[in-house]
Amino acid sequence: MTSLHTEPHPALRHVASTSTTTTTPISPFPGERIEAVPVSTVLDTITAVVHAREAQANWSHTTLAHRAEILNRYHDLVLERQDLLLDVIQRETGKARGHAMEEIFHVAMIARFYATDGRAALKHDSRAGAIPVFTDVEVHHQPKGVVGIISPWNYPFSLAICDALPAVMAGNAVVLKPDLQTLWSALHAVDLLVEAGLPEGVVTVVVGDGPDIGGALIDEVDYVCFTGSTATGRRVAAQVASRLIGMSLELGGKNPMIVCADANLEKFLDIAVRSCFTSAGQLCVSTERMFVAREIYPQFLAALVERTRSLTLGASLGWGYDVGSLTTAAHAGRVQAAIARAIEEGAKVVTGGTLRTDIGPLVFEPTVLTGVSPTMSVAVDEVFGPCVVVTPFDSVDEAISMANDSEYGLSASVITSDLVLGSRIAEQIRCGSVNVNESYAAAFGSVSSPMGGMGQSGYGRRHGAEGILRFTEPQTIAIQRGLTISPHFGRTDSQWAGIMTKALNLMKKLWIR
């Protein structure tokens, strides 16, 4: 057997806890153990926010250049320590190492982007004043204060820190509540950020159940960033709304892929396998509904099944297999129940559908289903596992309609050799991100562009300028020179009204805004 640490790790100093109670996650890998972490009380959480406010007061006065230097150093540290981080991510989630590597790349890209473009987004912005020449206006972006981040277990390194980086770049402090299954991924993420130069206390971790600790966190912070299920997101949104503070939510998805009649078979197979089975399907932007043009449906389905069956499964640290494990026994039970219900409702399992305990306790075979009607639960509800429903369509318009037949709208894909057609289809799909001739990586990896959901898939955006400005309050500062904006030089209100009417008409003609 191996253990995560032989001694208490220094990263534990980032946990706000006065309790003697600990929590010990269970690794989905046989023979792997994870070190216990102290649990935070509600009072610890409240105190953590108080201390974060104190740290933020100093941090907000640092220069953007200084903050950018820290993010650039963080970029380098994440890439340098990738072997350690990959071990931690795999041990906690059970995902294949290649899929864990995506988290490393994502965090490095986010750090680099906000170290450079973040400064441009946050700079003071000059605007046209009420009276040209006499009114100078600037928009400043003031930090919210303390940001509460509640992160999930499926991408535990990436989603613990990818929102914290723009938050601290904007001058905020952060209190982070990671999922209990994946605490060490979050702790290492924070520890490396402090090593990169972030002052202690600017990012703090609280540990505990969502209803208790998460609720206490929401009650205290100035902004909430939540990633998780739509059901939980609704509860978070209600609590946040009662406080009239800001929030961003990335929630569930039932992501469609449209495969057009002119699609290249080999390109399709590569894209489809990554889109459906990365991280064993435990990916918010994973494809769960695939619509294939009827004229190519038999050939493409047969090829997809063959490629899926060829994937190697594993449940151990290191490289060497294609698809890893589900993360928890509870979630494996939910995936099994979803497949069983689909079969009861008439779906056909073309391949997969079995828990492979001979490989690992939570390894579930990549699964392809057919014969699924639009009303079946597996066509409507998020499975969040290695499962895709494949359905033929007769026209592009029908495919678009089927893709949009969902309360969710997070991510979608279009596979076609005609890029004009692909773009036209993409514009008609109600999703926050649409990839043409890619799975999810093209849009998700383009961190200069906003990423988020429509419909029940979320509220707000991460990435891009939008992803950092959400952590700020725009403040307009107007400086009036000379003339006041009121009747002057002895003029009456009526005379002032006439002067302003002529001035406004003149400004319209001169396009002065």
The residues annotated with a catalytic role in the active site are 250, 284
Q: Backbone phi, then psi, for 242, in 5-degree steps?
A: -65, -20
Length of the chain: 513
The C-alpha atoms of residue 24 and residue 427 are separated, in whole angstroms, by 46
Residue 409's nearest CA partner among 444, 371, 456, 476 is: 456
For residues 184-207, b (16+ Cβ closer than 10 Å) or e, as one string? bbbbbbbbbbbebebeebbbbbbb
Q: What is the H or E stretch that residue 8 is in?
A: none
How many CB atoms are closer than 10 A to CB 256?
28
How many CB atoms are closer than 10 A to CB 371?
16
- Write the DSSP symbol of residue 86: H
Q: Which amino acid is at 253?
A: G
Residue 120's nearest CA partner among 72, 64, 168 is: 64
Residue 81's nearest CA partner among 185, 221, 176 is: 185
SS3 165: helix
SS3 201: coil
The shares of helix, strand and coil residues in the chain, as percent rounded to the nearest 5, are: 45, 20, 35
For residue 94, how far is the Cα from the chain centroid?
Answer: 20
| SS3 annotation, 419-460 | HHHHHHHHHHCCCCEEEECCCCHHHHHCCCCCECCEECCEEC
| SS3 annotation, 230-299 | HHHHHHHHHHHHHHCCEEEEECCCCEEEEECCCCCHHHHHHHHHHHHHHHHHCCCCCEEEEEEECCCHHH
Q: Do 338 and 381 meet the contact criterion of CB atoms below 8 Å apart?
A: yes
| SS3 annotation, 208-245 | CCHHHHHHHHHHHCCEEEEECCHHHHHHHHHHHHHHCC
Q: What angle do CA 306, 308, 311 make, to 5 degrees?
A: 115
The C-alpha atoms of residue 63 and residue 69 are separated, in whole angstroms, by 10
Q: What angle do CA 389, 390, 392 make, to 5 degrees?
A: 145
